[in-house]
Structure 1
Amino acid sequence: MNTDVAPRLGGWQQQWQQTWRVVAAAALGIPFWVSTGAALPRGCATDTCSWLVSGDPLVALGCLTALLWRRRFPLAVAIAVAIASGASTLAVGAALLALCSISTRRRPVEIGVVTLVYVAASQLTLVLYPIESPPGTLWLQLALPTLSAGIAVAMGVAIGAGRGEVRSLRERAESAEREQTARAEQARALERNRIAREMHDVLAHRISLVAMQAGVLDHRRNLTTEENRTLIRGIADGSHQALEELRDVLGVLRADPGRPEPPQPSLDRIPELVADARTSGLDVTLTTTVTGRPSDVVGRTCYRVIQEGLTNAAKHAPGAPVHITVEGTAGGELHVSVHNSPATTTTPQPPASGFGLLGLAERITLAGGKLSHHPTHDGGYALTAHLPWPNHDHEKRS
């Protein structure tokens, strides 16, 4: 809807509601006015009785006009109209509407004051008009205004409660919408971080090995034909594997229906990772003394630590020997260490993202472990992680 049209429609709606309520108040006062005229003595057309057809409608008209300001000055308008209704039976409807309107605020003191003023003012009718009342009907003269005031108050309180409920529901809906928007933003941020982390883990290792092989191929002029063929085959295979792994990651992130989820990295796949690194030209040794089988999270984190260490060694220390140590047992910790010696060859380094160790530190923190990385005294570099390994079997037995 046009933004200029919506306010106009809202204004017309409020004006229409204001109009029909005033008309309803005027119509409600007509039965009181007619019944009062019927109760007057015959021939009472002069003196006091003339007020019924002259002053009574004018006072009622003033009360109906005052109702237009009842939302701006609710208490003042309600008291003024309640007092005026004592001099105008036609204004009784306006007084009841004012009492109903102020009751929507649900303030007992205001409601009590206006109700007392209305009931007291209703007794002025007996003074203003010469209506003969049977003896002992004083209670009836008080009961009827009190009953009508009680009905108006009950309606006003019910309307106010309904408005409060609607307001509360609207606030809850707006709060829920804000929370949903915040959760959606958080989910998008987490998904972006997850995509960036997975893309780095999958591609950085492969591309680093491919870049290392390409650098060797470019700088070594004394390679034999078989060595050149081996390096070229390694570059092609590494690029192909990088594309395949990238396709697998994107398939998981897009939640492709019918596409099987690729196997997640684990502790069992570390020898395969080391073998790929050796095939690509890295001098890697692996020492494993692990007793038991850790959880999937611990195994996957361990795999990522070794993968990041091999990636950094290929980037920053080409040709250097790399030694990997994995040791631990259930109920203690899993220790992972990747240490490389200084570089033995000089090749152009591929561009670094700078987020590898940051993402790895985040992974290890989520797993409850600790990460340290620093240069060593021999000019190399060491990457070490300590991961908690609770003994779940012992917990189940206990």
Structure 2
Amino acid sequence: MNTDAAPPLGWWQQTSRLAAAAAVGLPAWLTVGVLLHREADGTGSWFLLGDPLVALGCLTALLWRRRFPRAVAMTVALASTASALAGGTALLALGSVATRRRPMEIGGVVLVYVAASQFPSPYPTQGAPGTTWVELVFPVLAAGIAVAMGMAVGARRVEVRSLRERAESAEREQTARAAQARALERNRIAREMHDVLAHRISLVALQAGVLDHRGDLTAEENRVLVRGIVEGSHHALEELRDVLGVLRAEPGRPEPPQPDLGHIPALIQDARASGLDVTLSTTVTGRPSDVAARTCYRIVQEGLTNAAKHAPGARVRVALEGAAGDRLTVSVHNSPAAYATPHPPTSGFGLLGLNERVDLVGGELDHRPTPGNGYLLTAALPWPNPVLEKRT
């Protein structure tokens, strides 16, 4: 990025600057005209034609001062020695160079400007004591004022550019944060939708598969399975409605209670009612954190969902163990499928969501096939001792 580039000027801004440069030289030109009229009995053709033409050429050259600042400034400084009306153009060109805030460049243009001011003037004037010092000091003071104003304008441009870049950077960061928030929200919606629906739909599919593959069931057993399918479908719709209600809730509105370890027995009971052979063993002592308990519930739910989808009729063993100050360990192990079914569709969101949940609590997740075509899903979640944490 070119930090020396000045912002482009509009037509009105360009015209106003050129008019100001002409206005600065106008008093000097009129003063010279008065002196010539008084001392030389006439102003002369150079004053009336040559001086304004040189000033007009300098004003035209200023149109390119931002593209060729040094060349224009030096050219105008040299040309202005032959025109009293062009004095303001030289100062404007010098100030334009000073906005770049380059000491060597500014010093070179100032040296040319002061040296050119010592050239013989085209107007005959009478010398006076101390005139040489006046002719040297006045250009130096004028150049100093122009340089000071130009550097002030340059500093302001740098500050404005810095503020604009900060604003653009903050806007980009805000856009990135908004995109990240949207991505996180989409991931959360995907996890919640999967956790809520996949389990219920898998149990419904399991019951429907039993009806399809078991021709020896009694009428009562068929009614039980059909009733389970109907109830499971209703539960799935209710849970979907709850999830959508949470997602559409107004900011600040409390969410409904999340499941924890106390809800796992009901989860196991629902799986058994749907025809899944599940046993639960637990040796958990104490109450883990809400996040760890909710993650444990989701792990068991995902294990039962996968068993119902990929291993219908299998035996499933769920084990929970842990204590404060140690770890909370959960495992879901299922045997091979009791009968063959069409390969169910897989999305991959379930285990991906579990990995994210477990990573958030600092735990470890493992899932792999076991000998005999079974499958094992295990997780170890940290369970710090709250008493020790309070003491430290």
Q: Which residue of 2 aligns with 1:131?
A: 125
Query: Residues 106-117 of structure 1: matches in 2 within 5 Å?
Result: 106-117=101-112
Residue 45 of structure 1 deviates from its aligned partner by: 4.4
- Is the alpha carbon distance of 1:180 and 1:50 closer, same or farther for their aligned partners in structure 2, counting shifts above 3 Å? same
Code of the aligned partner of 1:76: A
Residue 238 of structure 1 deviates from its aligned partner by: 0.9
| Contact 1:251 1:259 survives alignment (8 Å) | no
Give the length in aligned residue pairs. Answer: 386
1:103 to 98, 102, 106: 98
Residue 239 of structure 1 deviates from its aligned partner by: 0.9
Alpha-carbon RMSD: 2.4
Q: Which residue of 2 aligns with 1:172?
A: 166
Residues 106-126 of structure 1 deviation map (CA, whole Å, 9 limit, x = unaligned) = 11222222222222322336x
Matches of 2:251 and 2:382, distance apart in 1 = 35
TM-score (norm 2): 0.90
Runs of 5+ unmatched residues, structure 2: 1-6
Code of the aligned partner of 1:44: A
Residue 204 of structure 1 deviates from its aligned partner by: 0.8
Q: Which residue of 1 aligns with 2:149?
A: 155
Query: Residues 201-240 of structure 1: matches in 2 within 5 Å?
Result: 201-240=195-234
Matches of 1:213 and 1:170, distance apart in 2 = 64
SS of alignment partner, residue 294 of structure 1: coil
Query: Residues 197-346 of structure 1: matches in 2 within 5 Å?
Result: 197-256=191-250, 261-346=255-340
Question: Which sits farther off after the overlay, 356-365 or 272-281?
Answer: 356-365
Q: Which residue of 1 aligns with 2:59?
A: 64
Matches of 1:310 and 1:377, distance apart in 2 = 19
Residue 219 of structure 1 deviates from its aligned partner by: 2.7
Q: Which residue of 1 aligns with 2:15?
A: 19
Matches of 1:257 and 1:88, distance apart in 2 = 72
Residue 43 of structure 1 deviates from its aligned partner by: 4.5
Residues 175-229 of structure 1 deviation map (CA, whole Å, 9 limit, x = unaligned) = 2232222222222222222211111111111101011111112332332332222
1:86 to 81, 90, 100: 81
1:362 to 351, 356, 367: 356
Q: Which residue of 2 aligns with 1:52?
A: 47
Residue 40 of structure 1 deviates from its aligned partner by: 4.1
Q: Which residue of 2 aligns with 1:39?
A: 35
> What is the aligned-residue identity percentage?
71
- Is the alpha carbon distance of 1:63 and 1:258 closer, same or farther for their aligned partners in structure 2, counting shifts above 3 Å? closer
Matches of 1:133 and 1:258, distance apart in 2 = 87
Runs of 5+ unmatched residues, structure 1: 1-9
Question: Which sits farther off after the overlay, 145-154 or 25-34?
Answer: 145-154
Q: Which residue of 1 aligns with 2:4?
A: none
